[in-house]
Amino acid sequence: MSSTAHHPPAAGTGGCDPGAIDELACVAAGIQRRAEVTQQHLPQLREFQEKFNSARTEYTKARLAAKTDLDEAAATLAKVREQIRCRVTHEQRHCLQQAVDKVFDEIRRCTGGRGCCVDDCGCDFDDTVGREDTVATLAARIARYTADTSKAAACFTDLDGELTALPERAAKIKTDAAQLLADVCDAALGKDVVRLYARLLVLLRRSAEAWRGFTTVSEFVDCLCKALLCVFKGWQAIAVLEGARAELLCKEETRKKACERKQKETVEEVMAEYTRLCPPCAAHSDETEEEDPDEDRTADAA
């Protein structure tokens, strides 16, 4: 936090100030805390860096695998639609479509929607420390930045999970589509056409949303990059603020101890202050002792 150079007191000036050593110790405490916080989060940053470096290649593979299964699922669902569309009335189809829209909108709201899960507004971290900052204000900012950074880290982890989740999701849609076609052809299960049509609409919507809002590989990688930079900037700012907070805490503790010492050793503190205010002068042979003005007045009165 402190940018002021700290120098030891000059010898022979009569201004020896041991408090400068305490200040230097507090600066060191701040530097140490900043390093500790950095080291604490560095493994996560290294892990995210490695995953990001291979993300484009791995996500491209995942999309290709998913597209193959989704194309097969689309062909299967087209057959299902041909077989049951005429068995469901226009009103039933309309009501089922409304129901599907409503449920998927609710799912989107409770799961956080689609597309990139981090934005620039949530990654604005200010690590400057002013004279008006206190331990409390720094603690509040650290808490807020930690929450934002953790959210970005969760976003990165979730996106990284897409490398396996996307192909698995597409494979399940393909399997469910094949099962739906088999059920439509089943003599017993094929009678509940309303439910079968509902399953068809659900699978069609899941197929359309399988990409989670990322239409290209570049869109996905750009979002992953935003999340990584947000995490990096967040932990970097938090380390600076933690160091500043540690320095302020140290200084508060130093002032507290100084106050306790003054209360406990009051006479010694008074004498030390007296010596600083009225330093003893060296005696010279040609100097005479200054007369006390009170004594002069007494002599005149006599």
**pLDDT averaged over consecutive 10-residue blocks of the chain (302 residues)?**
45 59 92 96 97 96 97 97 92 95 92 84 89 95 96 96 97 97 84 93 96 95 96 97 95 85 84 82 52 54 49
The reported pLDDT for the residue numbered 17 is 65
The reported pLDDT for the residue numbered 52 is 97
The reported pLDDT for the residue numbered 3 is 43
The reported pLDDT for the residue numbered 293 is 54
Q: How many structural domains compose the chain?
A: 1
User: Is residue 281 situated within a structural domain?
Assistant: no
The reported pLDDT for the residue numbered 212 is 94
User: Is residue 164 situated within a structural domain?
Assistant: yes
User: Is residue 122 situated within a structural domain?
Assistant: yes
The reported pLDDT for the residue numbered 259 is 84
The reported pLDDT for the residue numbered 69 is 97
Q: Check: pTM over 0.85? Answer yes or no.
A: no
Phi-psi bin for 117: left (phi > 0), alpha (psi -120 to 50), beta?
A: alpha
Structural domain containing residue 114: 19-265
User: Is residue 128 situated within a structural domain?
Assistant: yes
The reported pLDDT for the residue numbered 13 is 43
User: Is residue 166 situated within a structural domain?
Assistant: yes
The reported pLDDT for the residue numbered 11 is 41
